Structures are given as structure tokens and as C-alpha cells.
A and B are shown apart, each in its own frame.
Chain A
Amino acid sequence: MTILWIEDDFGLDETLGDWLRNEGLEVLHAAGPKEGLDMLEKNLNKIKMILLDIMMPPEGVVDNVRSDYGKDTGLLLIEKINTITEKKKPIVILSARQGNLGDLATDSAVRERLEKTLGLEAIVQGIKDAASLLDDPRS
């Protein structure tokens, strides 16, 4: 099972990323939105699910309004991901942002929303649950 993780926080790939690999997932890590979309296009058949951060620098991917620079980059990315995947790949949001994310986060491709403060166990369980649905033909 290969998942694409679009996440710009440094060091997370070496910790949480490696942990997910240890749990048997194949994790492709993209350090930013632009890199993420490129990786998705190149590995479209292989990637089964997208793990997505929200607050990232928007450069080269989405227009940003200076006053809330980068606040919704991940959410604005959902539409672009759906265009590439024809909405066929589920998205799991993993962000530090709390509270209501608005309409964009209710897109039907968004399978799960996880917060970084949930702790390792709950985050990993959430990701695995979302991934296991993929193996279930009924879903």
C-alpha cells in the first residue's frame, strides 16, 4: 500500500514517516505542494491514498492572498489532487490546524481528518483505518 504524504514540516518524515513505513505502509514524502503534485502525477497508479498537510507555503501551486498567506494551501490543493486522480483516491488530512476547516474539507474525497496533537497511536490508527477501507471492495 503506497501513500503520498504532502507535508512541509521538517523532520516529520524521519520520525512519523519512518514509523508508518515500519507499520508496513510505503510512504512517498513530498516536502511541499508543488513537489506533491509532481509526485502524484508520476506515480499515479502506485499511490492509493494522499496524506495532506494544510498550512504550507503556496508558491507555484495556488494563488495566495498576503493577509492569510498559506493558511489554506492544503485545502486549495484538494481540487488539484482530485483533477489528477479524477477523485478516485481518498485524502486524509493531517494538520496542526484546529477547528472548522470550512467547505473545502468536506469534499467527498476527504476520508478522514486528523490533528497532530492526537498523539502517535491515534494518528497511525486513523491513517491505517482509512487505508484499510481501500482494501474493502464494499467501500
Chain B
Amino acid sequence: DLPLSRRNFLEEVPTSKHRSLIAAPMIGSQGESYGILRCINLQEGFRILPGFLPSDLKFFKLVASVLARFIEIAQLASRRRRFMREMAHEFATPLLQAETNTAFLNLILTGRQTTKDPNQVIGSLKGHISHLQALVRNIQYNVRPDADFEASFKFDSPVDLHGLIEQIRKPMLSLARSRAIEIRGKTSQLPNLFVDKDRLAQVFYNLLYNAVKYSPHGSKDIWIAHDVIDENVGGHQSAKWHRISVSNYGIGIPKGEEERIFEEYVRGSNTQYIRQGQSGSGLGLTISRRIVERHGGILRLERLDNPTVFSVLLPAALEEGGPLL
């Protein structure tokens, strides 16, 4: 399935009279195509050269596969560098803030600081530490092999999901308020569900943190809301779902990237370089979707912008017991 026909090759060298050519596809180790390597043998004027031999083609194929591998390695290296840079960014601010909190506590303990409320400093420190922990968990979950990760879920007891969401919403509120944004919750009607508490907490943390991160100062309220919907979603059996939606009035998701943003290391094209507060590993949504799917649920983008809405759909059957997977 070569993108260029034989005719194209020949038309590229209109002045020569006689020629032969060989071409080989450059295919990477995962089967991805990096284009076609071509070699044209010109036979012009006094230089009488023989055409290509079968052994030339064999050698040429080898050259093409080696080049494909080079390209692959170079791309991987560049993706890794970008990931490292983003991670460094992502850790820099919470670390600086935690360090400052610690320095304040030291001043308070030695009586050299009286204006700061120690409880507020500790609260802030806790917030930065839990953010760093969430970042580390996103990385950890991602490096575990699929089967191992899937087997590690626990569904042994019903979880008060509303309480869980409130536990995440409240500390996040102080972050949001520093941007003059409120986070409103409307999840009190959520029943207890057989879910993996810590893993699902990670999902709501990621979604809420993204919502704050990508909302400009003073933007409209962020909502985390619950409703029950009846819907047959692609191949899923349960028609009744608990839908928990997180909405924000932020920079939105560019059209055409609705699915791409769930891929590993991928972030919206409008998020790169924005600022440190908006740097990211591109792991949060990927891992969140895996966690929700392990519950037999769905994580989807419902609306691109004004507001941007992400929804977690959990089967109502989780009211009775863990997922049948």
C-alpha cells in the first residue's frame, strides 16, 4: 500500500532518459509507517551504469528498516524529553509551596512569626503534599502492567461516594478560591456503590484538578453534579447509570481532539507551554479512564467548552456488588 505510484517516481526525474528505481517502505517496530525510501539510478550520457540487481533491493530494504528504527528512536527520545520537562514543571510549584509552608512553620514554632495561622499553613502544606502524591500515583498506575493493575482493584464494601467526592472537593476549593472560582457540589443523592475507593478518588481528583487548572482567574463556578440516566452506551449492558459530571468554564478542548486527550502522554494542543500551573504529564485522563472502565463504567467528554464537561458513568448495578468482569 504505497502512497506513491510508480508513475510519480518517474515523473520526478523528467530530464533523464533511462533509469531504474528501487523503493522500500520504512516500517517501525510497532508496524507504523515512516514513509518510503527511494533510490533512482540515472543512466545518462557517457556513464553507462547497470540497472539495480536483486541483491541491491535486499540491501536497500535493510537500509530502510534501519532508518525507520532511527526515526523511531529519535521520536521516542523527544517524547520522553517532553514528558520529563512537563513532569519537572508539574512538581516544581507544589514543592516550592510545601517548602515555603515548612519554613513558615519553623518561624511559627520559634516564635518569629505571629501573623500566619499555623492551622492554615498546615492545611496548605497537606494540600500540596496530597497533590504531589496524586501525581506520583498517576505515574505509578501507569507503569504497572495491565493485568497486574486490573487485579489490584478491591470491591469488597460499599463506598459513600458523596462523602468521598466531598473529601476531594473541599481541599480543592482552597486552590480554586485563590483563582476566585467556586466549586459547587451536587452529589448528595448518590447511593453507596461497590467501587474501589482509592482508585475512584484518584479519578475525581484528576477531573477536579484539571477543571481548576484550566479555568482562568475569576471564571464561572465549577460544578460536580450527579444524576441518573437511562442510556445504552456502546456495547454496555447496563442501561441505568449514575452519572457524575465535572464542568468548568475554561480553555476548552479543541474540536477533533475529543478522543486524543485520553491517550497516554497526550494533552490538548491548546495546553502546551501555557504555564507551569497548566503543565501536565498527559497521564491523568488516561489513567482515570482505565480506572472507570475497570468498574464497568465509562469516562467521556460530554461537551467541548462553555462549559467543558467530563462525565463518569458508573453502572447502577454497582449498588448491589462489584463489577462482573
Contacts and interface: CB of A to CB of B under 8 A. Distances in A.
Q: Do A and B share a complex?
A: yes
A38 interface: no
Given A15-B96, A16-B100, A117-B88, A68 B272 contact: yes
B251 interface: yes
Interface string B264-304: 00000111111111110000000000000000000000000
B16 interface: no
Nearest to A16: B100
Contact of B124 (A9, A11, A71, A98): A11
B308 to A, nearest CB: 15
B157 interface: no
A19 B116 CA distance: 10
Given A31-B179, A35-B217, A10 B274 contact: no
A19 B104 contact: yes
Contacts of A55: 273-276, 278-279
Given A12-B97, A22-B107, A120-B99, A53 B275 contact: yes
Interface string B175-196: 1101110000000000000000
Contact of A9 (B88, B104, B272, B275): B275
B216 A96 contact: no
A4 B272 CA distance: 26
A10 B178 contact: yes
A2 B102 CA distance: 25
The main secondary structure of chain B at its interface with chain A is: helix
B39 to A, nearest CB: 35
Interface string A80-106: 000000000000000111100000000
A116 B98 CA distance: 13
Given A11-B175, A22-B107, A120-B100, A57 B273 contact: no
B104 A8 contact: no
Interface in B192-230: 212, 216-217
Interface string A104-139: 000000000000110110010000000000000000
A57 B89 contact: no
A119 B89 CA distance: 14
Interface of A: 8-16, 18-19, 22, 31-32, 35, 53-57, 59, 66-71, 73, 95-98, 116-117, 119-120, 123
Interface of B: 85, 88-89, 92-93, 95-97, 99-101, 103-104, 107, 113, 115-116, 124, 127-128, 174-176, 178-180, 212, 216-217, 251, 269-279
